[in-house]
Amino acid sequence: MESTSGPVFATLRGERVHLVELGEEHLEAVHRWRSDPEVTRYWIIQSVPTMEELNSWLRRNRESGSLTFAVIDEHGSLIGYTDVFDIDLEHRRCEIALMIGERRSWGRGYAREALSILLGHLFARPDDGGLGMHKVTLAVFAENLAARRVYQACGFQEDGVLRHDMYRDGAWHDQILMSILEDEFRSVSCRSRK
Ligand SMILES: CC(C)(COP(=O)(O)OP(=O)(O)OC[C@H]1O[C@@H](n2cnc3c(N)ncnc32)[C@H](O)[C@@H]1OP(=O)(O)O)[C@@H](O)C(=O)NCCC(=O)NCCS
């Protein structure tokens, strides 16, 4: 992995995918993904945002210091995005969310690679252009087995269960809280498997 620009929105390069700052030019695709019930089945928000709402979301993210990256595959195609939010520099922790929105790209190891690249950046020391995080957290629907597999493969551990945390399709669903510490990331290789 190599960083090619400043410490915050470096372009993060892996073997196949790279991450760049998500910009307004990417929002049409985000809108399409957020309109696809297959993609949002286990996403925290299922209502479809308008383009105006997506523009506001991006603006708010920038203002609050969240980092939102576009995931680009080896052909230069935009396939998803990932969000780093609640960045706490005092306690050196943050939360992430990840969406590979192009369904034809599922099952090819892109999520695993994108996550590996992102974690490398989040755990790298500020001197090396990273964020110097100690811990990265996320929440995932218990039923989202593919996502849980990706997170586990990258070294995330389960911290606990938020029981009946979401009501969807006439039923209650648990969310699993997961986290990874800097040492755990360094001892796991989840780069690319394909
Ligand atoms: C979940 C998601 C990120 C996975 O992306 P992806 O690029 O397909 O993931 P990868 O190909 O890197 O890995 C998927 C893994 O899940 C496994 N998997 C897929 N479907 C599965 C299922 N139903 N049960 C168990 N494992 C499954 C795959 O075999 C693979 O594991 P492996 O590498 O050990 O073979 C993607 O489907 C997505 O973005 N979905 C919509 C948004 C979402 O749910 N995001 C997560 C919110 S927490």
Nearest CA to ligand 1 atom 33: 109
Dihedral-angle region of residue 86 (phi above 0 means left; psi in -120 to 50 means alpha; beta otherwise): left
Total-model pTM: 0.94
CB atoms closer than 10 angstroms to residue 11: 15
Using CA atoms, how far apart are residues 174 and 164, in angstroms rounded to an integer? 5
Residue segments in the chain with a per-residue pLDDT below the cut of 70:
1-8, 191-194
Ligand 1 closest atom vs CA 99: 39
Nearest CA to ligand 1 atom 2: 147
- pLDDT digit string, tens, across residues 32-87: 999 999 999 999 999 999 999 999 999 999 999 999 999 999 999 999 999 999 99
Using CA atoms, how far apart are residues 178 and 169, in angstroms rounded to an integer? 24
Nearest CA to ligand 1 atom 20: 146
How high is the pLDDT of residue 2? 45
Q: Please indicate whether residue 32, judged by its CB atom, sits closer than 6 Å to ligand 1.
A: no
